[in-house]
């Protein structure tokens, strides 16, 4: 039993109208929502409104580089892309990989072979997106842990508490306010930093005032 293909949004960026029409029809029959633009400017405008799951980009666009367009869409909008080229060679494939393309497809090949290749590219892009999401979550968790640890250390120093006492004080405050411990720790550190800044900005006392 074949697993049904989950519908994805695909953007084709190609100035060859007939080729673009064939590619749009092919991927539409495969069950995807496909749209097309013919220039880099049109592609950027379309992606800014609604980012696709995958962009199929001709390596050579009118007055533009499809390779650079793909790199820009990836860096600015987190759009995965496949490079299409009429030149079936190793060099263009290497260039596509260097700018971050998920895959490279020769336009001289059989269009029917595009479907499995593009489905593989879609699956790969989802894996990479999920990996980046998990990395972001891990990074955030580490930052939160660091904030709690730092706040505990500051409280130990200022209140002459043991580590356990300082930690329990922070946790008790979080429970009272019904907030996350990391949020309370970050607010505590921000308050300490603000206080230190205010004290540091105060002018020194004059000798007359200190004597009195």
Task: Tell me the CATH class for 136-197.
Answer: mainly alpha
pLDDT for 34 beyond 90? yes
Give burial (CB, 10 Å; 0-12/13-18/19+) of 125.
buried
User: pLDDT tens digits, residue range 147-166?
Assistant: 888 888 888 888 888 888 88
Q: Which of 19, 27, 117 is nearest to 11 (CA)?
A: 27
User: CB count, 10 Å around CB of 37?
Assistant: 21
List where CATH 3.40.50.2300 sits in the chain: 9-109
Q: What are phi and psi of 12, to 5 degrees?
A: -100, 130
List where CATH 1.10.10.10 sits in the chain: 136-197
Q: Which of 11, 137, 128 is nearest to 78 (CA)?
A: 128
Q: Name the band, by pLDDT with cuts 50, 70 and 90, for residue 209.
A: very low
Q: Which fold has domain 9-109?
A: Rossmann fold (3.40.50)
- Rounded mean pLDDT of the chain? 84
Q: Name the band, by pLDDT with cuts 50, 70 and 90, for residue 4.
A: low
Average pLDDT over residues 2-27: 86
User: pLDDT tens digits, residue range 44-66?
Assistant: 999 999 999 999 999 988 888 89
């Amino acid at each position: 039993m074949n697993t049904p293909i989950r519908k994805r949004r695909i953007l084709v960026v190609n100035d060859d109208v007939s080729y673009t029409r064939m590619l749009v029809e092919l991927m539409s029959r495969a069950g995807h929502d496909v749209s097309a633009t013919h220039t880099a400017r049109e592609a950027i405008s379309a992606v800014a409104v609604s980012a696709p799951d995958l962009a199929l980009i001709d390596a050579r666009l009118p007055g533009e580089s499809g390779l650079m367009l793909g790199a820009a869409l990836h860096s600015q909008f987190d759009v995965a892309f496949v490079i299409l080229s009429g030149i079936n060679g190793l060099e263009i494939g290497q260039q596509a990989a260097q700018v971050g393309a998920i895959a490279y497809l020769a336009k001289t090949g059989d269009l029917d072979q595009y479907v499995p290749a593009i489905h593989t590219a879609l699956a790969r892009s989802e894996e990479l997106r999920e990996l980046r999401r998990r990395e972001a979550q891990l990074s955030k968790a580490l930052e939160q842990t660091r904030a709690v640890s730092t706040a505990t250390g500051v409280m130990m120093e200022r209140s002459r508490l043991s580590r356990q006492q300082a930690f329990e004080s922070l946790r008790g405050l979080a429970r009272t306010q019904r907030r996350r411990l990391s949020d309370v720790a970050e607010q505590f550190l921000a308050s300490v930093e603000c206080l230190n800044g205010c004290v540091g900005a105060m002018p020194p006392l004059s000798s007359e005032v200190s004597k009195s």
